[in-house]
Amino acid sequence: MPLQTETLLALQELDTEIERLRKELARLDTGVELRRRHEALRAHCEKLEANLRAARATLADAELELKGVEQKKKEFEKRLYDGKVSNPKELSAIEREIEMLGRFRGTLDERMLQAMEAIESAETELAKYTSARDRAETAWRAQDQTYRAEKARIEAALAEVTARRQPQAAQVDPATLRRYEDLRTRTANLAITRIQDGNCGGCHTNLARAVIQRTQENTAYVFCENCRRFLAPEE
C-alpha cells in the first residue's frame, strides 16, 4: 500500500485545529466570578433594605407612641391646672404622672434619634451598594453575552472542522490510523511532523542524515528515534 504521509499531515492539521478550538473554548471567561460578585452584592443590598425597613418601622412606632404620651401628658396637665382637682394627694399623683411621662418622652426622643441615625446610615450604605450591585450586574451580563457569542462561534467552527476530519481519517488505512491515533494520545496531539532544518518538528531532536534520506525516498514510514512520531520530509 502506498504511503499516506500527505493524508496524515492533512489529518494532523485538522486535529491540531480541533485541539486549538477546544482549548480556546475552555479558556473562555464564563462570567461566573462576575455573577458571584453580583449575587453577593444583591444579597447585601437585600440585607440593607431589611435593616432600613426595620429602622423606619422603629421610628414610626416611636412617633406613634410619642403622640400617645403627649396626649396623656396634656390631659394630666389640664387636670392639674384647671382647678377641678383640689385634693393634695391627687394633685401630687398627677404631678408624678406628668414627670414620668416626661421621662418616657425623653426615652422616646432618644429612640427616635437612634432610629433616624440608623435610617440615614442605611440609606447612605444602601445607595453605595446598590450602585455597586448595578455595575456588577451590567459587567456580568455583558460578559455573559460575550461568552455566549464566543462559545457559539467556536462550537460552530469546531463542528465544521470535526465534520471534515471524519472523511479525512477514513482515507487512512486502519493499521496506520491506529498507530497515528495512539501516537497522538501519547505525544500531545502531534503524531506526525515535518522535518525542520534537520530536526524533528515535534521534539526538535537532530536527525541522522540517513533518517532524513529515508523520508525523502518515501518508500516506508519513518519515525523519530526519540519521540517516535511519524516524520515527513521538509517542504
pLDDT digits (tens, 9 = 90+) for 149-189: 999 999 999 999 999 999 999 999 999 999 999 999 999 99
Rounded (to 5) percent helix, strand, coil in the chain: 75, 5, 20
pLDDT digits (tens, 9 = 90+) for 203-231: 999 999 999 999 999 899 999 999 999 99
Q: Residue 153 corresponds to which cell in the numbers above?
A: 462561534
Would you kindly state where each structural domain of the chain is located, as residue ranges? Answer: 5-22+173-232, 31-152
CA 29 to chain centre: 8
Give 192's strand partners: 230
DSSP one-letter string for 155-166: HHHHHHHHHHHH
Fold of 31-152: Helix Hairpins (1.10.287)
pLDDT for 83:
73
Residue type, 59: L
pLDDT for 1:
59
